[in-house]
Structures are given as structure tokens and as C-alpha cells.
Amino acid sequence: RPVLVNNFAEHVRLMSADSDFRFSEEYEDLKLVGHGQTCIAADLTVNRAKNRFTNILPYDHSRVKLTPTDDDDGSDYVNASYIPGFNSRREFIAAQGPLPSTRDHFWRVVWEQHCPAIIALTKCVEKGRDKCHQYWPDNDQLSVLYADIEVTLMNETVYKEFTVRELKLTNISEPVAPSRTVKHLHYMAWPDFGVPEYAAGLVRFVRLFRTRLPPSPSNKPTVVHCSAGVGRSGTFIALDRLMQCAAKNLPLDVFGIVYEMRLDRCHMVQNEQQYIFIHHCLLYVLETQYDMATNLIGNSLSQVGSNQGTTTSAFLSDNVVIDFPNSITSNDVGNNLNAGITENDVQIICSNGSTTFIGTALQHQPNTTWITTPRVEVHLNPAFDDDEGIAESGL
């Protein structure tokens, strides 16, 4: 059911008619995808307590296996599954939020799989309910030992909707192994129930992830988790994959991607509202790519020959580059973003070699200047319960 990029807005309009009736029909067709596959390891008596929810279990064929530590049948078990992405068949690991008893197993996954990044999509506690046991050091701890893995908080930057941490991992049981750095991107703006009101925040977060970890077939798996590791996690993974399709002007197949994920982990994109939200996020992606490209190109062409000096490259396709000055006024982008996003909320995610940061308009400053780094990619291509509702109903 792929849809051409140029036809996607009309496709969403048709699907949304009559109270999202066609969305409901399409999502219903995903209901039984993947069901009937074996979950023998997850259902072993020794492993049952390691599952946060009794009905969210990894399939045997796609589960992540830990290196066995003893003769115990369950020593290789963790509630996590390999999930395909745009660039490789095992681009992601979708995992449940760690329990106190599985926190050390979580870090073994990160270490053994050489994971470069962790995407967290839930707070530890929401509405008084435990969603995920905290598995990283607080600011006042700096380093914490989780079994054999010492985790050190190198830095932490808090933004309006998310927090970015850099963690150093040292395996004390492997003294000759060098320490590793892991990026921890923690999105905390998902509401306790339903989906985010606006698409912009999650789209920004995915773009941030991809500036910190550019897509590559050689990347090791990135861990993505919420609480059950299927709802918000599935939404994020699907959106990341579809945004890369959009950037390359490839057909957008939301149904096909969710179908494929569900063959490897049950309930991925856990409810209809999340499924529809993915479409709204893609609309936002396409609209802002076009608006930002139009403004940036116009700004560039109007100042060709000026003495501003340094320029920034806008990559409009695989082989077209247009330069524009590094200073972009807030009016160049602020007027073209969707309702609900104010000028001061907008953040341009950029990269400059090994340094990555977010440029934001300063509040209450007239004629604010956007500070950007020397590389911005621009592509010119025209609720229910929370995400654990199904999981908890099975307890």
C-alpha cells in the first residue's frame, strides 16, 4: 500500500474522512499479523518474572540473546527483539523498559550488541505508575556499577521536551576492552494518555537522533524502549524509517512497515491513534521540508554576492548543493511551521563535524538571529489509552 510522496497529503485526507473510517479498516488488517509465532524462551518458568507484561513477549526467532552466564536455561533471556530499519535488518532493538530485576540485563544487551545509542520514550513514572526503572546515573552520582558494567554520566543537556546524555561504559570483567560512549536520548513529552498533540516535537526528536547517529548500514543496533517496548517504540522506529524514505522521495508505506515490524515483535504501533499519528508526523515532515527549503533558498539567492562570508550548504537532493549564509533570521522559518509551534519552540538540528547542537531563538529578543552550524540538510519534496494499554489489560 505504498503512497507516492506527492500524493501523501491527499491519501491522508481520504483516509481521515468519516471519522478516520479507512484508517480504522486498515489498522484492523494488522490485528493478527505475527500471531502464532513461538515465544518458548519468554514463557519458561525461569523467565516469566523478567517480563513486565504477561502478553508482551519476544518471538523466539527475533529475540535478542544474551551470552549465557551459566547452565541456567534462562541466562540468555531478555525481553527485547531485533527490528528492521531503513538501513539494515537489525537496525534497532525494541525492548521493554527495564525492571529492577532486569536492569543489569539491559546493560548487557547494550554492551554485547555494541549499541551506539539508546532511545527512551517514557518517564520512569507516569501518573503514579512505574513505567521504567531508572538505569542511568543521576547528576549527583556520576558513576554507577550495574553488574559488570560501570556507567558514567559524562554530560547531560536538558531541553524543553527531551534530555540528551552522554554515557561512558566500562566493563570491569573485560579489563582489556576499551570504554565506550553511548548516546542516551530521552523524550519526555509523550502524554500519559494518547499521543502528542502536535507532530513537531517527535519529528524534531527523530531528527536530533539522526544528527547524533547518521544512518549507515554499518551501524550497530540502537536500543529503543518505552514501557512495554511496542507502542511508542514502534511509532518511533516506523517514523525514523519513513522519514528516510521521504528524504529520498521514495514511496511511503506506513502499513507495510508496521506489518513488517509486527512479524518480529508483537503489537508494534500498539493502537490506532499511534498509527494515525505516524501519518500526521509525515505530513509535518513533508510540509516543513518544503517550507524550510523554500525560505532558505530564497534567503540564499537574495544574498548572493554579499560580504557575509561563511556559508552553509543545503542539500536539496543527492547531488545538488546550494549555499546560504550561516545566520538565518527567525522569520525565515518561524512563519512556516504548523499551528501550535511558536517561534521560540522551534529548534533547528544541525551538525558541524564532531560537534552537534541545537540552535534556538532567544526569548523576548527582537530581531533574533538563529545560530546554525555549517551543515543543514534540507529536502525539497513536495487517542486512546497510553501505549501500554493493551499490555496492562493482559495482566
Span 124-158, pLDDT tens digits: 999 999 999 999 999 888 899 999 999 999 999 99
Report the chain's mean pLDDT, rounded to a whole number. Answer: 81
Residues involved in catalysis? 226
* Whole-number pLDDT of residue 211: 96
Q: What pTM was computed for the model?
A: 0.78
* pLDDT tens-digit map of 90-134: 999 999 999 999 999 999 999 999 999 999 999 999 999 999 999
Residue 176 CA to residue 163 CA, distance in Å, equals 32
Beta-carbon contacts of 262 under 8 Å, excluding residues fewer than 6 positions away, are 30, 33, 34, 268, 269
Per-residue pLDDT band for 191 (boundaries 50, 70, 90) equals confident
- Cα-atom radius of gyration of the chain, to the nearest Å? 22
Q: How far is CA 175 from the centre of its chain?
A: 33
Residue 328 CA to residue 215 CA, distance in Å, equals 27
* Angle subtended at Cα 352 by Cα 347 and Cα 358, rounded to the nearest 5 degrees: 15
For residues 262 and 29, is the Cβ–Cβ distance under 8 A? no
Q: Which of 108, 94, 85 is nearest to 59 (CA)?
A: 94
Number of neighbouring beta carbons within 10 Å of residue 294: 14
Beta-carbon contacts of 375 under 8 Å, excluding residues fewer than 6 positions away, are 312, 313, 350, 351, 352
* pLDDT tens-digit map of 53-72: 999 999 999 999 999 987 77
Per-residue pLDDT band for 294 (boundaries 50, 70, 90) equals low
Q: Report all structural domains of the chain as residue ranges with CATH numbers, in order of start.
A: 5-286 (3.90.190.10), 287-377 (no CATH)
Per-residue pLDDT band for 353 (boundaries 50, 70, 90) equals very low
